[in-house]
Chains A and B, each alone.
Chain A
Amino acid sequence: MSTKNGLKAKPVVNGEVDVHIESAFHGYNDDTLGRKKIVLHNIDLVVDRGEFVCMVGPSGCGKSTLLKLVTGQERVQVAHHFDVLNHPVGFPDKHRGVVFQKYTLQPHLTVEGNVMLGLELQASIPQLISPRWRKEARKIVARYIERMRLSDAKDKYPRELSGGMQQRAAIAQTLVTVDLFKTPSILCMDEPFGALDPGTREDMQVLILELWEKYKMTVFFVTHDLEEAVFLASRIIVLSQFWTSDKPADKQEGSRIVMDIALERKAMSTLVKKTPEFGALVKRILDEGFNPRHRSHVDNFNQNLLHPRSFQSLSLEESHINGTFHEQVG
């Protein structure tokens, strides 16, 4: 593995890359500090098509913020590159599907209406007025509803459903356009199963893996549950504010990617969670990323940036965007 100044070098980025982030900084106004507080500190990330990326990290590490930058809900403040699907990241669009923890369904539509929404919105006008197309669309909707075991609830409104049913409907809603319109290419999920009971949760995990294998889409999955992350991911990214460098303390603000691990896809059984390797990995992530007393040094990041696609760009001081960033954020 080639290194430059002790940093892991950037991999070749070609057309098959879904997300290309380099030297990204993001912050927000903090009234108690009287200045901008940095949340994301020099994020470098290249994600290939079809990867299941789980982002984990201590609370407040900015994993949801990073996801919002990818979906376009927020604009990244400073970055050398922030490309999604080979274009500079734009506003939310049909290429990036989202599933939130809450508020994912439109309250005024039934389950069927909610799942149908994506098809209706992406259909052309001739399609919309063609009875044949509508019949086809309804068939697809019915198939997804059945697959999510929601057939009995298809005429119910979201308020009348349990949390698990709502989340299943939301996933169907997001994926329903895959067959006809090949959208979304990237699926972004922000703690989608956070509010579910353990049984339903496991159920949903298996379901999402099945769908991922079938449609080969790129998934970004934010969770605070390490077991969930290790079970689902083909790649785990640990974002953490607990790191250190030789620079003054105030330049060490914000989270960095402290771990980046490729996981082999094993047989898809929830029994994996009981194996010793599984437990060891969970423990390792916990020690390296979540422990405020264990701060890995920037120079040693290489030890944990094990994914072949992981890399480190120059640090804040050496980067030429340093000046602009401090004008804007510092």
Chain B
Amino acid sequence: MKKVRVPWFFGLHARPGPIFGRLLGIIPIAFLVFVYISCSHKRHIENPSDKLMPTVSQMYTEMKQIMTIPDKRSGQIFFWADTKASLRRLGIGVGISAIIGYMLGVGMGMFPGFRALLLPTITGISNINPLALLVIILVFLGVGESSKIFLIVFGVGIPISRSVQKMVENMPNELTVKALTLGASQGEVITRVVTPQVLPQLIELVRVSLGAAWIFVIAAEAIASTEGLGYRIYLQQRYMNMALIIPYVIYITLVAFSIDYGLQILLRKCFRWYSSSSN
């Protein structure tokens, strides 16, 4: 019998296969890297002191310096201090956002009285652009950590609470009725039925919200800060030090990627019932 040939790449029926599929994914990245390197090489031949497109070796020296040599005045290694500061802001901000989002969301989703009380306000607030509010936040809370964390909570916590509310409202009412008929009190409905089902979805929401949270961290650091990944980038911008800025951007991307990946693993490990159903 003649075998039907399944195409590797073209058409609706293509099956790239595991190895060729991976290879395909690498091609655009390799291409972009190649374009950058060749452009930067060309520019450096024309003008050896070009700052716009530093060579890989220039980036390496800059990064090595900032990652290993402590600052003369503070004794800090900037790279690690920046990472710590930014991750701390991100972690606290997103953590508080998740807690607030959970409490408001479950409250509004489950208790009609609470919803009637808060939903109009929350809906109104969620339409305010957090970045437009940044100046006001800085005026009231100062340039310290609290204003940055407030910005994240404002920009991320409110949307999370609305999503959680929707999620809870979409939960089949039968599950609540069932729990009540099994003898659950109103509080137990929340702790034994709603919360365990909201938790994995909350982690999913945090994953999605991290993108926005990073924007707020970097923006807040750029405007008012003395350390942090965003601060360093905007500081180096004054010297047009692309050899540091570009690796920093790549570094931020990698950090964001690993956090996302970590949460994904957490979800798969701790909530088997959830991941087995969504995949």
Q: Which residues of A contact B (CB under 8 A)?
A: 71, 73, 91-94, 96-98, 100, 102-104, 106-110, 117-118, 121-122, 157, 159-160, 173-174, 177, 181, 183-184
Contacts and interface: CB of A to CB of B under 8 A. Distances in A.
Interface stretch (B144-152, B190-198, B219-227): B190-198
A159 B277 contact: yes
A56 B181 CA distance: 24
B273 A121 contact: no
Contacts of B181: 71, 92-94, 96-98, 174, 184
Interface stretch (B74-82, B97-105, B172-180): B172-180
B184 A104 contact: no
A71 B178 CA distance: 10
A174 B181 CA distance: 8
B interface majority secondary structure: helix
A104 B182 CA distance: 11
A157 B180 contact: no
A177 B175 contact: no
A93 B180 contact: yes
Interface centre among A106, A107, A108, A122 (most CB of B within 10 A): A108
Contact of A92 (B172, B180, B193): B180
A73 B176 CA distance: 10
A98 B197 contact: no
Contacts of B184: 121
A107 B180 contact: no
Interface string B178-212: 11111110001000110011000000000000000
A91 B182 contact: no
A121 B192 contact: yes
B182 A94 contact: yes
Contacts of B183: 93-94, 118, 121-122, 177, 181, 183
A102 B181 CA distance: 16
B276 interface: yes
B174 A160 contact: no
Given A121-B188, A159-B273, A106 B193 contact: yes
B277 A91 contact: no
Interface centre among B174, B197, B272, B276 (most CB of A within 10 A): B174
Interface in B35-66: none
B149 to A, nearest CB: 31
Contacts of B172: 102-103
Contact of A108 (B177, B178, B188, B197): B197
A118 B179 CA distance: 8
Given A100-B174, A102-B174, A103-B174, A108 B273 contact: yes
A181 B273 CA distance: 30
A82 B136 CA distance: 58
7 contacts: A93-B181, A100-B174, A103-B174, A103-B178, A106-B175, A107-B273, A157-B272
Interface in B233-279: 271-274, 276-277
A71 to B, nearest CB: 7
A319 B149 CA distance: 65
Contacts of A93: 180-181, 183
Contact of B174 (A91, A104, A110, A181): A104
Nearest to A188: B181
Given A103-B172, A103-B174, A107-B197, A173 B273 contact: no
B179 A117 contact: yes
A173 B181 CA distance: 11
Given A92-B177, A107-B197, A160 B182 contact: no
